[in-house]
């Protein structure tokens, strides 16, 4: 009698909070409930929509839309600025609920995460029951709703979580994955953005079934190394594990100027504010970085970046600001007007100490 290896199917849940920022605002401020709400800024600002309530989405308002456009679509909407401290606090409470069921939690953002419950801490067994229990806990303890997708891999679970929003629970089991993938529009596939989707549609590839008709060689020829991934994912093959300690690659912040400008004083003031925000985020995650990147978007939406790396790491607002100013000067903007500025720190090394002077300021070796 020969031994046969048995493949253990994973139990993966993707939890996605429903209109998270807007839902927190409506929970905390009763006067917003049942009304179209836009989180992102005032309608006469140059900000963009971070989240819109479901009442606002009826009017066609979506994330990343300009606030001015959102106002045109719904002049009666309520516009508020984000309260990220509040959202972070709620997110922490959500993660605590997750941790009751599994330690294999991979956060993707404040409002969504993957959970591997193949071996759940409470011994429930059924991933569907675990997802339902998590949703109930979020509703009862935090007065918010979440949607959940359940399947055998990350990709299918993530797509499933978006199928019956809000407050949905969708299970796609192994026997259903083949037909599910074949019917899926190509723009719903992981890693397929607007540009790639347009290329695929130009090739008459509109669904998973169309994508499945292409060989791996054809996909690689058209889309490079992503082609191999598309070949596997359309067949329901996704071996990516849920990573409990997802490595942070960068920490940054950006802001849009009230008016396009080439005024150094105005840009310097904004860079100081952004530097302080980045420093607070670095402190929160106990990180320091060796590379500073300055992002500059001009009035014509042209985008450039300038970076510098060091032999030591930095994390203080003063140091970040000083380097951002130097990068701005080196960019030699001339008379060009700037629309947006951003700062990002990357190359994190936890085992490399931050260099400090006696006054607790960073010393610069340049």
Structure tokens at 330: 């080196």
Query: Token match 């030591």: residue?
Result: 312
> If you search the block for the tokens 């917003």, which residue do you land on?
32
CB 50 within 8 A of CB 39: yes
Q: Give the active site residue among 25, 55, 106, 112.
A: 112
8 A C-beta contact, residue 148 and residue 114: no
138 token code pair:
């979020």
Query: From CA 20, how far away is CA 147, in angstroms rounded?
Result: 11
Listing DSSP states for 90-146 in one string gives HHHHHHHHHHTT-S-EEEEETTEEEEE-SS-TT----HHHHHHHHHHHHHHHHS--E
The C-alpha atoms of residue 282 and residue 181 are separated, in whole angstroms, by 40
Beta bridge partners of 52: 38
Half-sphere exposure (Cβ direction) of 363: Cα atoms closer than 13 Å:
8
Bridge-based pairing of strands 146-151 and 169-171 is parallel
Any catalytic annotation for residue 283?
no
Biggest distance spanned by C-alpha atoms of the chain: 81
Give catalytic residue positions.
112
């Amino acid at each position: 009698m020969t031994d046969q290896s048995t493949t253990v199917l994973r139990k993966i849940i993707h939890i996605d909070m429903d209109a998270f920022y807007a839902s927190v605002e409506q929970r905390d401020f009763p006067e917003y409930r049942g009304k179209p709400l836009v989180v992102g800024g005032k309608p006469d600002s140059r900000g963009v929509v971070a989240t819109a309530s479901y009442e606002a989405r009826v009017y066609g308002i979506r994330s990343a839309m300009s606030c001015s456009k959102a106002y045109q679509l719904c002049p009666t909407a309520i516009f508020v600025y984000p309260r990220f401290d509040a959202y972070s606090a709620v997110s922490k409470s959500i993660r605590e609920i997750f941790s009751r069921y599994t330690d294999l939690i991979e956060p993707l953002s404040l409002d969504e995460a993957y959970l591997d419950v193949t071996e759940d801490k409470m011994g429930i067994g059924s991933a569907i029951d675990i997802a339902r229990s998590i949703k109930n806990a979020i509703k009862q303890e935090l007065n918010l709703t979440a949607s959940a997708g359940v399947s055998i891999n990350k990709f299918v679970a993530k797509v499933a979580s978006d199928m019956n929003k809000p407050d949905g629970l969708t299970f796609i089991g192994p026997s259903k994955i083949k037909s599910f993938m074949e019917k899926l529009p190509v723009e719903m596939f992981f890693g397929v953005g607007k540009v790639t989707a347009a290329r695929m549609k130009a090739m008459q590839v509109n669904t998973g079934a169309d994508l499945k008709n292409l060989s791996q060689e054809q996909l690689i020829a058209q889309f490079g190394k992503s082609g191999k991934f598309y070949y596997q994912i359309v067949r329901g093959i996704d071996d990516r594990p849920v990573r409990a300690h997802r490595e942070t690659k960068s920490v940054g912040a950006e802001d849009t100027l009230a008016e396009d400008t080439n005024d150094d004083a105005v840009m310097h003031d904004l860079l100081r504010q952004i530097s302080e925000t980045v420093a607070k985020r670095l402190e929160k995650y106990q990180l320091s970085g060796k590379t500073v990147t300055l992002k500059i978007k001009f009035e014509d939406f042209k985008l450039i970046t300038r970076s510098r790396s060091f032999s030591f790491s930095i994390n203080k607002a003063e140091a970040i600001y000083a380097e951002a100013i130097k990068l701005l000067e080196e960019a030699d903007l001339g008379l060009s007007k700037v629309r947006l500025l951003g700062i990002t720190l990357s190359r994190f090394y936890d085992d490399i100490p931050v260099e400090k002077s006696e006054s607790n300021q960073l010393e610069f070796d340049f």
